[in-house]
Amino acid sequence: MTEGRKDGTAGRRLVGVLVVLLASPLTAQQPTLAAARRFIDQAETQLEERSVHLSRTEWVAATYITHDTELLSAAAQADYGRLVQRLATEAARYDGVSMPTDLRRRFLLLKLSLSAPPPADSALGVEMARLQTGLEADYGRGTYCQASAGGTRCLTLNDLTRILAQSRDPAELLDVWRGWHAIAPPMRDRYARFVALANQGAQTLGFRDAGAMWRAAYDMPPDTFAAEIERLWEQVRPLYVALHAYVRHRLSDVYGPALVPPDGAMPAHLLGNMWAQDWANVFPLVAPRGAGPGYDLTAILRERVPDARQMVRYGENFFLSLGFDSLPTTFWERSQFTRPQDRDVVCHASAWDVDNRDDLRIKMCIEPTAEDFVTIHHELGHNFYQRAYKDQGFLYQTGAHDGFHEAIGDAIALAITPDYLVKVGLLDRAPAAAADTALLLRQALDRVAFLPFGLLIDQWRWRVFSGDIAARDYNRVWWDLRMRYQGVAPPGPRAADAFDPGAKYHVPANVPYTRYFLAGILQFQFYRALCREAGYVGPLHRCSFYGSAAAGAKLRRMLALGASRPWPEALEALTGQRDMDASAILEYFAPLRAWLDRQTGGVPVGW
């Protein structure tokens, strides 16, 4: 399974039967090079054989939320955890064996197969699996019920999202923001217990804590990786600060300085998104004065695209234009495209590879919006990546690092330019070049505004896992980090028991989030490389490589590597560079940055 755009590739979860594990012959092998090869080959076979059952169990748990499916999913996760825990522990017997780099890589990937390895005690492993399944289900069931003279109206996250996107009434925005965040306080103590158990599991594998284990997945020491993240952030921070100053100035004009202080943090509920993770929905309030009308993709989709399935066809056709094969028939039969009316489901967008071969699916509750149109392209990026590396060994069936998986779909989405929309018949003609500023601002409100949020979630979790933050301080430190990186504040004091991180899917679901920040950088590197391969010459933001067989061929070669090579080699295969580099995103937004600086002359910058 691969989670949806900003809201990656989650650790592979496989089911095992304990009696089979107890009969495993793997422990009989001696710690020699030949034994190490036999061990990892047999381990991969066990993992691959047992993965399909768990994938199906988790699919049902996500698309039919009931008490029983929760228990079945928790049991499957617990069995999988015991399998990986046993194999990873046995793998430690070979740590002292001198072995080729490729073999050593497979051993490390085995240890990193779980985002939350269970403790060695099987009873604690069962407890941890139930905690994780229950937290995710609580999020999926979350609603906000408003009492009024006409009765009680219960709103889903989709309903609340629409209100935050469309309403300009500060009181209504505050109400729904508080209403959704009220689902999270009951999670806090269970989450703290989950953290303690996850740390126990990580320590049995030789990691300091679960956060250090996550950071070990990037072909460099964990502390070096943390420094690399800060380096990338410092590259893009000036662009973000310029965007923040402009948006704050305009929103202060709209809502008044009492609500949006001209020189301070912006309140989270006024930025058009439940988590203020992107600001695309406030574009009408901050659009360049005197800008042309441009185009409204949401309105176009509502008028011209008959249903959710057809929206997905547009995404598939993009990949077909690059030379990829069509999605299998089962994709169209088994995916969840819309919210069912008869049951609870997890609507959070995700891409699935159920059988590690061809049973590809997406799970979404698609609405005819520009945001979902982009998300579809993103999710299919996961699916086409999954199929490209299906012939690799099981442990290599993932991205070069998890940011790669997220960045592929986003690089495709960057190519959803006006020229692309014209080619596929959704736009009659592209706006004139004079509309570029507005188009770039729309993109920046989505992609640049997201970067610090993509960074801070795991900054918070790494400190939670390390024990640096006690449960009573979870919320305080959460908002300290949001202030430091985003310049965003809560809309008023928060209660002592608030657990606002729990109102974001990836925290209760325990999905690592740094991948999204890395994808925010890498997608522009990938996009620029594909544009160059397609022979494009011109301003980077106008490029679409739709229809380029050359770009598609180069992309397929990189995707087919999976995780078989360290990520610098995969990056070099596509871009010619071995380092992650933000120069492409700065090039893309260079015309906007110059415009922002002109608009904010004499306006406070920073917070």
At 10 the pLDDT is 37
Whether residues 192 and 311 fall in one domain: no
Q: What is the band of 195 on the pLDDT scale with cuts at 50, 70, 90?
A: very high
Q: CA dist 219 to 89, 411, 513, 567, Å?
A: 21, 23, 17, 7
3-class secondary structure, 126? helix
Beta carbons of 14 and 80 less than 8 angstroms apart: yes
Is position 159 within any domain?
A: no
Whether residues 317 and 201 fall in one domain: no
Q: 493 is written with which tokens?
A: 């004091």
Residues near 131 by beta carbon (within 8 Å), at least 6 away in sequence: 190, 191, 193, 194, 197
CA distance 104 to 563: 13
Is position 545 within any domain?
A: yes
Q: What is the band of 431 on the pLDDT scale with cuts at 50, 70, 90?
A: confident
Whether residues 552 and 405 fall in one domain: yes
Whether residues 396 and 541 fall in one domain: yes
Whether residues 540 and 422 fall in one domain: yes
CA distance 517 to 8: 11
Is position 367 within any domain?
A: yes
Is position 153 within any domain?
A: no
Phi then psi for 2, rounded to 5 degrees?
Answer: -130, 125
At 11 the pLDDT is 35
Sign of the dihedral defined by the CA atoms of residues 380, 385, 386, 388, in that order? positive
At 22 the pLDDT is 32
Whether residues 538 and 410 fall in one domain: yes
Average pLDDT over residues 507-519: 95
- Is the per-residue pLDDT at 203 higher than 60? yes
CA distance 470 to 286: 39
Is position 376 within any domain?
A: yes
At 435 the pLDDT is 83
Reported as a single tens digit per residue, the pLDDT across 128-146 is 989 998 999 999 899 999 8
- Is the per-residue pLDDT at 14 higher than 80? no
Length of the chain: 607
Q: What is the band of 3 on the pLDDT scale with cuts at 50, 70, 90?
A: low
- Is the per-residue pLDDT at 8 higher than 90? no
Reported as a single tens digit per residue, the pLDDT across 223-252 is 899 999 999 999 999 999 999 999 999 999
Residues near 492 by beta carbon (within 8 Å), at least 6 away in sequence: 174
What number of other Cβ atoms are within 10 A of residue 553's Cβ? Answer: 12
Average pLDDT over residues 3-14: 43
Mean pLDDT, the chain, rounded, equals: 91
- Is the per-residue pLDDT at 507 higher than 80? yes
- Is the per-residue pLDDT at 13 higher than 50? no
Which residue type sits at 549?
A: A
Whether residues 196 and 316 fall in one domain: no
Beta carbons of 348 and 372 less than 8 angstroms apart: no
Q: 420 is written with which tokens?
A: 């692309």
Whether residues 17 and 118 fall in one domain: yes
CA distance 37 to 33: 6
- Is the per-residue pLDDT at 408 higher than 80? yes
H or E element in which residue 456 lies:
helix 436-466
Beta carbons of 77 and 133 less than 8 angstroms apart: yes
Residues near 331 by beta carbon (within 8 Å), at least 6 away in sequence: 360, 361, 362, 383
At 2 the pLDDT is 59
CA distance 423 to 415: 12
The closest alpha carbon to 408, from 534, 560, 523, belongs to 523
Whether residues 199 and 301 fall in one domain: no
- Is the per-residue pLDDT at 108 higher than 50? yes
Is position 453 within any domain?
A: no
Higher pLDDT, 322 or 85: 322
Q: 573 is written with which tokens?
A: 């295969």
Q: Give how many domains the chain has, as a whole number.
A: 2
CA triplet 83, 86, 87: central angle to 5 degrees? 85
Task: Provide the CA 325 distance to its chain's centre, in angstroms.
Answer: 25
Whether residues 423 and 324 fall in one domain: yes
Interhelix angle 33-63/101-111, rounded to 10 degrees, is 40
At 292 the pLDDT is 61
**Residue ranges making up the domain that contains 319:** 297-430+529-562
Beta strands 266-267 and 488-489, pairing class: parallel
- Is the per-residue pLDDT at 120 higher than 80? yes
Q: What is the band of 336 on the pLDDT scale with cuts at 50, 70, 90?
A: very high
Q: Which of 18-27, 218-227, 466-475 has the highest mean predicted lDDT (pLDDT)? A: 466-475
- Is the per-residue pLDDT at 398 higher than 90? yes
At 289 the pLDDT is 84
Residues near 24 by beta carbon (within 8 Å), at least 6 away in sequence: 46, 86
Beta carbons of 91 and 111 less than 8 angstroms apart: yes
Express as a percent the part of the chain with pLDDT over 70. Answer: 95
Is position 459 within any domain?
A: no
Average pLDDT over residues 526-555: 96
Q: Which of 19-28, 200-209, 331-340 bottoms out in mean pLDDT, i.e. has the lowest? A: 19-28
Active site residues: 348-349, 378-379, 382, 406, 506, 516
Whether residues 61 and 193 fall in one domain: yes
Whether residues 7 and 118 fall in one domain: yes
Beta carbons of 277 and 457 less than 8 angstroms apart: no
DSSP 272: S
Is position 168 within any domain?
A: no
Beta-strand ranges (E) seen in 150-232 are 151-156
Reported as a single tens digit per residue, the pLDDT across 250-274 is 999 999 999 999 999 999 999 999 9
